Amino acid sequence: MPCSICDDTGWKAIESDGGRRVVRCDCWRNSLAARLLDNARIPPRYKRCDLEAFVTYTNEKLLSAVRQAQRFAAEFPTPQKGLCLIGPPGIGKTHLAVAVLRRLIIT
Ligand SMILES: [Zn+2]
């Protein structure tokens, strides 16, 4: 079924500053995000990772890691600093890395 807004052209007209112009349709953005997520080849067990679901157990180091991951995602593509995740196995480094990747693709 074609998009009811753009009829699958991927563009929609909007009113802007007293005139009309065209911008990408939501269906195009959604399909782009789906393709990018698919191309990211995130393993199934990590497909639902997000920054909000990360359990920190009120551990200050984990809370700090989440804050830094959120900052990195918010500042992307021009973050002030990179993101380096260090810690023992099972602490959540992959979860945070995938969560940042997913946020950058979806938003
Ligand atoms: Zn559309």
| 91: number of Cβ within 10 Å | 15
Q: Is the pTM of this model over 0.85?
A: no
Task: Tell me the pLDDT tens digit for each residue of 74-84.
Answer: 999 999 999 99
Cα of 37 vs centre of ligand 1, distance in Å, is: 19
Confidence (pLDDT) at 16: 85
Cα of 25 vs centre of ligand 1, distance in Å, is: 5
Task: Tell me the pLDDT tens digit for each residue of 2-39.
Answer: 999 999 999 999 998 889 999 999 999 999 999 999 99
Task: Tell me the pLDDT tens digit for each residue of 42-70.
Answer: 999 999 999 998 999 999 999 999 999 99
Residues with CB under 5 A from ligand 1 (ion): 3, 5-6, 25, 27
Is residue 52 within 8 A of residue 103, CB to CB? The reply is: no
Q: Which residues touch 44 (CB under 8 Å, ≥6 apart)?
A: none
Instruction: Determine the Cα–Cα distance for residues 100 and 50; give it in Å rounded to an integer.
Output: 7
Cα of 97 vs centre of ligand 1, distance in Å, is: 31
Cα of 52 vs centre of ligand 1, distance in Å, is: 29
Instruction: Determine the Cα–Cα distance for residues 49 and 53; give it in Å rounded to an integer.
Output: 7
